[in-house]
Every structure is written in C-alpha cells, then in structure tokens.
C-alpha cells in the first residue's frame, strides 16, 4: 500500500496562513492504514493546529471530514454539500487523492498535509518499508521476488556494485544489499541461472503520465470514429 507521513506543523501552518476557514479532509484508504491520514490522524492534527493557531493568534478556523477514499470521485462526492463555506481545503490523502480532491473543486485552494513516501509494506506496527517503485515492468520473477529497482540504491539490473559493506548496501549499514539478497534467494531455489544472463537495457515504462484502460471497458470511454 501507499505510505505517507504527516508534514511538520510549521510547514502546514505556513501553507494555511491567510485562510479563514479550512476543511481538513482525511482518507480511509492506505494513509489510514499507515496512521498518517485517516480519521484519527485528521482529528489529531486539527487539535494540534487549533492549539498553535490560538497560541500564535492566527485566525484560522479548521474542521474535519474523512471520506472512504479520496482516489474515487464517488466517495469525494460526499463533500459536495460540505465544502461550500470553506476558503481552502487540506488533504491528508496521498498525492493522488489530494489531486483528485483538487480536481473536483477547482476553485478551492487545496493543500497537502502529508508527504507521500512510497509503495511499501508493514514490517511491524508503525514500521513501514518501501518495496516497489511502480516502474511499470516487473522483474520480480527473475530476481527471486526482490526488486532491484526499489531495493538497490542504484537500481542495478546485472548484479551488485563494487560497494556492499559485508551484506549491507554501501549507502546504509542498516539496509541489506538487494543483490546479496537476490543472490542468496536464487541460490537457495537453484535458480542462479536467472542472473548469470545479461539483463538487457530496459525500455523504461514509467516516463509518461500513466494510464490504464481495461480492454473490456474501452468502448465505454472511446467513441468509435467511423
């Protein structure tokens, strides 16, 4: 899932300065799972902001509303009859949700309250790690289920650089070298052949604005030209 982190109070305060009435919108999707932007976090942030605004005499009024998912217009629609009186919106969803919110209410300034960090996993409670760069051309089948694009600091495709410190990546002793891990995993499975072959220069599939249109729905969106 997508992992995000709440921005610092200072940064949020700066963004909201000059607005009188702000609606902080949460998201019940990924950001709620990683404890960054669900209903609880929205309330937490608002409580903190109210204290700060009061202390510093900043006349911003802030309310909250959390929708099921901000990456779906159907759920954002719930906000339609609420947003009216607000002169700015804040989103605690990921960057995608935040943009979809802004798209629905193009007249309202929208501010992100979180930084979207990565697509990752829950290692444990409150401990998330990146696993995927959404590169659009998955190689996990070759590399033993360990991603060289996301897990190798240099995104190498043909084996480890000269730098691993023991079994750690050269950039961080706490992080395992992806290629040491790939080697061990494939060796254990008797599939080392996979990485003895050269992996040819790839054509990057993530260099344009991504779009998926499912075959079975195409007719719905594309008018046939005769």
Q: What b/e string do you get for 195-223 counting C-beta neighbours within 10 Å, with b at 16 or more?
A: beeeeeeeeeeeeeeeeeeeeeeeeeeee
Q: Which does 178 bind (CB under 5 to 8 A by kind): other proteins, ligand SF4, none?
A: ligand SF4
Dihedral of CA atoms 218, 219, 225, 226 in degrees, nearest 10, equals: 130
- Of the candidates 18, 59, 145, 163, which one interacts with ligand SF4 according to CB under 6 A? 163
Scan residues 192-211 and list those touching other proteins (CB under 8 A): 195-201, 204
Choose between 104 and 133: whose C-beta lies nearer to other proteins.
Answer: 133
Choose between 29 and 160: whose C-beta lies nearer to ligand SF4.
Answer: 160
Residue 161 touches ligand SF4, criterion: CB under 6 A? yes
Helix (H, G, I), strand (E, B) or coil at 74: helix
Q: Nearest-CA neighbor of 138 among 126, 130, 148, 127?
A: 148
Q: Give the phi and the psi of residue 24 in degrees, each rounded to 5.
A: -90, 120
Stretch that binds other proteins, among 22-30, 97-105, 112-120, 176-184 (CB under 8 A): 176-184
Stretch that binds ligand SF4, among 37-45, 62-70, 147-155, 182-190 (CB under 6 A): 147-155
Interstrand relation of 172-176 and 168-169 (parallel, antiparallel or unpaired): antiparallel
Scan residues 101-140 and list those touching other proteins (CB under 8 A): none
What lies within 8 Å, CB to CB, of 115 at 6+ separation is 4, 5, 7
d(CA 28, CA 67): 6
- Of the candidates 35, 52, 132, 156, which one interacts with ligand SF4 according to CB under 6 A? 156
The count of residues interacting with other proteins (CB under 8 A) is 30
Residue 150 touches ligand SF4, criterion: CB under 6 A? no
DSSP per-residue string spanning 24-54: EEEESSHHHHTTSSSHHHHHHHHHHHHHHHH
Helix (H, G, I), strand (E, B) or coil at 91: strand
Stretch that binds ligand SF4, among 22-30, 31-39, 100-108, 158-166 (CB under 6 A): 158-166
- Of the candidates 19, 86, 111, 179, which one interacts with ligand SF4 according to CB under 6 A? 179
Residue 177 touches ligand SF4, criterion: CB under 6 A? yes
C-alpha 197: how far from chain center: 34
Residue 159 touches other proteins, criterion: CB under 8 A? yes
CB of 60 closer than 8 Å to CB of 5: no
Binding site for ligand SF4 (CB under 6 A): 152-154, 156, 160-161, 163-164, 169-171, 177-179
Residues of this chain that bind other proteins (CB under 8 A): 153-167, 170-171, 177, 179-180, 183-184, 195-201, 204
């Amino acid at each position: 899932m997508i992992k995000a982190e709440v921005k610092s109070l200072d940064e949020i305060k700066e963004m909201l300065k000059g607005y009188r009435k702000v609606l902080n919108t949460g998201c019940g999707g990924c950001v709620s799972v990683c404890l960054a932007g669900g209903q609880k976090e929205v309330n937490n942030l608002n409580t903190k902001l109210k204290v700060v605004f009061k202390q510093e005499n900043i006349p911003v009024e802030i309310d909250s509303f959390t929708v099921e998912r901000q990456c779906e217009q159907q759920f954002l629609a719930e906000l339609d009859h609420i947003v009216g009186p607000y002169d700015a919106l804040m989103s605690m969803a990921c960057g995608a949700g935040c943009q979809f919110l802004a798209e629905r209410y193009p007249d309202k300034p929208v501010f992100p309250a979180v930084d979207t960090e990565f697509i990752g996993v829950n290692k444990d409670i409150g401990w998330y790690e990146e696993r995927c760069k959404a590169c659009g051309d998955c190689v996990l089948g070759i590399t033993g289920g360990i991603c060289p694009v996301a897990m190798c600091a240099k995104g190498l495709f043909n084996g480890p650089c000269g730098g691993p410190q023991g079994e750690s990546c050269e950039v961080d002793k706490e992080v395992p070298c992806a290629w040491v891990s790939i080697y061990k995993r494939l060796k254990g499975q008797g599939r080392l052949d996979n990485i003895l072959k050269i992996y040819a220069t790839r054509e990057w599939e993530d260099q344009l604005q991504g779009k998926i249109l499912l075959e079975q729905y195409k007719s719905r969106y594309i008018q046939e030209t005769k």
